[in-house]
């Protein structure tokens, strides 16, 4: 039986001489595994549609619960990312996170939309990498059922809390927070950005601006919260951060 579906390629695993196994997050059926025959040979017609982070329309043949790609047409390959190793590595982190979360009991459709919107914000709208990364992580936590409580201090109700309690997933005042838990500082601008990210409509997740200092706070809070709640690290994130560090080393020193 043939099945037609659109999906984003989240992982490509080489298989045999010229085949590959694709992990594809599809619109209609969530995360699926496709076998792509001959896709690594130079003459393959489906090569570009089957590459990592391509958004494509697949026609697959289902046989005994295995799916083999028979046709694939690339809808969007996000070309700017293909020429920029830093951008590609950040998007690969998004892909690894999206694959992990769609294996769990979360809404795949929302995971797919957020991931596509994040890549679009980077590649087409040229939004800053730290802003997109932080908003992706925090919004993904909302989708995964770990919505942080940021309306006010969760202890006294004060509407200007200045700390984020990472384990509790809640904003608190410095004076209200229990000792022993990890609390990161948040300025009013950072708090406002967090409120926007967790409650805005899905199209507007990346539509905000922050000055460098509150953006640094947001980056710390989002990444720490994401990794703490998921209780794991990501090799794609480690690689991305190693590139960012090397990049900083290469900047000329300020006079």
Which chain residues interact with Zn ion by CB under 5 A?
153, 155-156, 158, 173, 176
Q: How far is the CB of 155 from Zn ion (least distance, A)?
A: 5
Q: Which residue, 137 or 165, has its beta carbon nearer to Zn ion?
A: 165
| 223-238 CB burial, b ≥16 within 10 A, e <16 | bebbeebbeeebebbe
Q: How far is the CB of 176 from Zn ion (least distance, A)?
A: 3
How far out from the chain centre does Cα 117 lie?
9
Packing angle between helix 85-103 and helix 235-250, nearest 10 degrees? 160
The DSSP result for 136-184, as a single string, is: HHHHHHHHTT---B-SS-TTT--S---EEETTTTEEE-TTTSPTTS-EE
Q: Which residue, 73 or 174, has its beta carbon nearer to Zn ion?
A: 174
Q: How far is the CB of 192 from Zn ion (least distance, A)?
A: 17
Q: Which residue, 73 or 167, has its beta carbon nearer to Zn ion?
A: 167
Q: How far is the CB of 157 from Zn ion (least distance, A)?
A: 7
Is 62:1 a contact under the CB 8 Å cutoff?
A: yes
Q: How far is the CB of 182 from Zn ion (least distance, A)?
A: 17
Strand partners, 170: 149, 165
Q: How far is the CB of 166 from Zn ion (least distance, A)?
A: 17
Q: Which residue, 149 or 176, has its beta carbon nearer to Zn ion?
A: 176
Q: Which residue, 5 or 158, has its beta carbon nearer to Zn ion?
A: 158
Q: Which residue, 139 or 183, has its beta carbon nearer to Zn ion?
A: 183
Is 94:37 a contact under the CB 8 Å cutoff?
A: no
Q: Which residue, 131 or 172, has its beta carbon nearer to Zn ion?
A: 172
Is 165:181 a contact under the CB 8 Å cutoff?
A: yes
Strand partners, 13: 21
**How far apart, in Å, are the Cα atoms of 43 and each of 40, 47, 50?**
8, 8, 13
Is 217:185 a contact under the CB 8 Å cutoff?
A: yes
Q: How far is the CB of 137 from Zn ion (least distance, A)?
A: 25
Phi, psi at 38, each rounded to 5°: 70, 15
């Amino acid at each position: 039986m043939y099945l037609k579906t659109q999906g984003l390629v989240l992982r490509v695993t080489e298989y045999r001489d010229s085949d590959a196994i694709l992990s594809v997050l599809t619109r209609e059926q969530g995360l699926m595994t496709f076998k792509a025959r001959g896709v690594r040979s130079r003459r393959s017609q489906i090569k570009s549609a089957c590459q990592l982070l391509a958004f494509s329309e697949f026609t697959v043949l289902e046989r005994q619960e295995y799916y083999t790609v028979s046709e694939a047409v690339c809808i969007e390959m996000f070309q700017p990312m293909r020429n920029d190793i830093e951008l590609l590595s950040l998007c690969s982190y998004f892909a690894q996170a999206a694959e992990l979360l769609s294996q769990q009991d979360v809404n795949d459709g929302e995971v797919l939309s957020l991931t596509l919107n994040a890549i679009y914000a980077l590649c087409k709208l040229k939004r800053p990498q730290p802003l997109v990364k932080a908003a992706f992580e925090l919004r993904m936590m909302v989708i995964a059922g770990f919505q942080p409580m940021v309306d006010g201090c969760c202890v006294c109700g004060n509407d200007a809390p200045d700390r984020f309690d990472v384990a509790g997933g809640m904003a608190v005042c410095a004076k209200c927070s229990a000792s022993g838990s990890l609390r990161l500082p948040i300025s009013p601008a950072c708090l406002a950005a967090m409120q926007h990210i967790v409650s805005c409509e899905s199209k507007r997740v990346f539509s905000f601006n922050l000055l460098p200092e509150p953006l640094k706070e947001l980056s710390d809070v989002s990444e720490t919260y994401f990794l703490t709640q998921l209780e794991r690290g990501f090799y794609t994130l480690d690689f991305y951060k190693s590139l960012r560090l090397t990049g900083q080393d290469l900047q000329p020193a300020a006079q």
